[in-house]
Amino acid sequence: MLEHLPALQVVLPLAAAPLIVLARSARFAWLATTAVSYLCLVISVRLFWQVAEAGPVSYAIGSWPPPWGIEYRVDALSGFVLVAVSLTASFVAPYAQRSIAAELGEERQYLMYAMYCLCLAGLLGIAITGDAFNLFVFLEISSLASYVLVALGAHRRALVAAYQYMIMGTVGATFYVIGVGLLYLMTGTLNLADMAERLARVDDVRPVLAALAFITVGIGLKLALFPLHQWLPNAYAYAPSMATAFLAATATKVSVYVLLRFYFTVFDPAPVFERLPTREIFVALSVAAMVLASLVAVFENDVKRLFAYSSVAQIGYITLGIGVDNQASLTGSIAHLLNHGVTKGAIFLLLGGIALRLGSGRVTIGALAGLGRRMPLTALGLVVAGLSLIGMPGTAGFITKWYLIVGAVERGWWWVVAAILASSLIAVAYVWRLVEAAYLRPAREGAAARHEAPAAMLCAGLAMVALCVYFGFDTTFSAGGAAEAAQLLLRGLR
């Protein structure tokens, strides 16, 4: 049984989805989703420890040995991503019941759970598979499910947002397949480890560089790399609360994982970073994202859109680490997959509770007036998570920025350090707008007295806020695991 854990990691949520559709009951759907989410967390933690103790785990699907069959491979990086995704899922699942019941009609609720399970299966599959084409299939499973999740939003704009997300996402996936196709033509293999070995012996570099370009742009669309992020703000703003929290915390992060995997373990790092100005491009785009998207967030009135733009900026931090490209900066990048996931997940979970009490899908800054008295715990949680976005010491966000700054200083790129600090200051500005509205403005007339979000939703949100603080103090898993993964990625360089 234990040796089949890598397969079960994906099969459990994948099998749960059709069962939920067959059962047609919202209650069963919620129970199954929660059970699957927790089982996935147990499996991924167990795999992570197994990798830490005994090295990478390889699992041959259908007993066909790699490179002929599809290989599931868990190493320090994929193990870390698996834990990050299933950890988020284990907070979102208990939250889902009240949130979905409030936002969707009875007859559509179980379908939302089914889509969520499919999305989870796809994301875990991307992280665990060692096969380039299998990765594409999982990418599309998770993406198609997330288009539906977005489209289930209450406002009709959710449909348009989902459509735009679908067009951009499909172009991204198609570009990725083109890249993989070119690599397959050059190497004759789809197994990622095998491909890396054979690519080193390929003489004609031009198709490989074209493949690199297609994969970069394709995955860049999926992970909302500035300026390919246009789909993200509307998709996050109009999706149901639970979908926003889950997608913001996981979907873009897993795409970053794909990029890391291809850059550092498949393409021989030398041609990637030496033959093309990849480093410069990534640093330039990341800095633009960190500064410009944060500035847009300062002037945004819809709170969900505000945090969506903040996500674009935070993804900038993650890709900045790829551009700076040393042990410290990559540790920062990988740790931020988890740290930002936890922070943004917490924020969107709490916003879901606020939207529920306001009785509308839209939460504007003005509607937050007096929140500190009406929903004191929610407001406090938002502020703490906001501090983590800014990068206050004692929160998860600080750990990331610390490593990124150390990485930039090692390279002697002081202007990058300045950009990180500038972006943090702009983050102070948009978080302050929330604090100002919540604590300093009087509540609107006729607003209800103290009325917190339902207990299950509030607890899930606050538990995630607690994680933000926890990862700010105990970095054995977050930064420690990320450092292991960064070492694994950079081994190819030496």
Q: Return residues touching other proteins (CB under 8 A).
A: 133, 136-137, 140, 144, 147-148, 151, 156-157, 159-160, 162-163, 166-167, 170-171, 173-174, 177-178, 181, 184-185, 190, 301, 364
Q: How far is the CB of 157 from other proteins (least distance, A)?
A: 6
**Closest to other proteins by CB, 183 or 384:** 183
- Report how far residue 164's alpha carbon sits from residue 229's, in angstroms, rounded to the nearest whole number: 11
The residue (of 365 and 379) whose beta carbon lies closer to other proteins is: 365
Instruction: State which residue, 159 or 447, has the beta carbon closest to other proteins.
Output: 159
Q: Considering the complex, state which of residue 110 and residue 138 has its C-beta at the smaller distance from other proteins.
A: 138
Q: Are 26 and 109 within 8 A, CB to CB?
A: yes
Report how far residue 483's alpha carbon sits from residue 321's, in angstroms, rounded to the nearest whole number. 12
Considering beta carbons, is residue 65 or 412 the nearer one to other proteins?
A: 65
Please identify which residue in the block is written with the tokens 């703490």: 384
Contacts of 201 (CB under 8 A, 6+ apart): none
Query: 104 by DSSP, 3-state: which?
Result: coil
User: Measuring CA to CA, which residue among 393, 420, 423 is closest to residue 409?
Assistant: 420
Output 360 or 491, the one with its CB closest to other proteins: 360
- What whole-number distance in Å separates Cα of residue 293 and Cα of residue 299? 10
Least distance from other proteins to the Cβ atom of residue 42, Å:
31
> Which lies closer to other proteins via its Cβ, residue 234 or residue 331?
234
Least distance (Å) between residue 136 CB and other proteins: 8
Closest CB to other proteins among residues 182, 335: 182
Contact by Cβ (8 Å): 334, 83: no
Who contacts 122 (Cβ-Cβ below 8 Å, separation ≥6)? 138, 139, 140, 141, 142, 143, 145
Distances (CA, A) of 344 to 308, 322, 373, 465: 9, 21, 23, 9
Residue 277 has φ and ψ, to the nearest 5°, of: -80, 50
Smallest separation, CB 379 to other proteins (Å): 22
Please state the three-class secondary structure of 431-464 as a single string.
HHHHHHHHHHCCCCCCCCCCCCCCHHHHHHHHHH
CA distance 294 to 288: 10
**Residue 254 neighbours by CB distance under 10 Å:** 25
Question: Least distance to other proteins from the beta carbon of 31, Å?
Answer: 27
From the number of C-beta atoms within 10 Å of its C-beta (0-12, 13-18, 19+), residue 409 rates as middle
Q: Between 282 and 307, name the residue whose CB sits nearer to other proteins.
A: 307
**3-class DSSP state of 167:** helix
Q: Supply the DSSP string of 222-271, one letter for each residue.
A: HTT-TTS-THHHHHHHHS-HHHHHHHHHHHHHHHHHHHHIIIIIIS-HHH
| In the complex, least distance from residue 412 CB atom to other proteins, rounded to whole angstroms | 41
Q: Which tokens belong to 315?
A: 């993804």
**Residue 50 or 364: which CB sits closer to other proteins?**
364
Least distance between other proteins and beta carbon 180 (Å): 9
* Least distance in angstroms from the C-beta of 107 to other proteins: 16
Q: How far is CA 451 from CA 232, 347, 379, 454, in A?
A: 31, 18, 12, 9
31 or 178: whose CB is closer to other proteins?
178
Cis peptide bond N-terminal to 277, omega within 30: no
What is the closest distance, in whole angstroms, from the C-beta atom of residue 133 to other proteins in the complex?
5
Residue 137 CB, nearest approach to other proteins (Å): 6
Q: How far is the CB of 170 from other proteins (least distance, A)?
A: 5
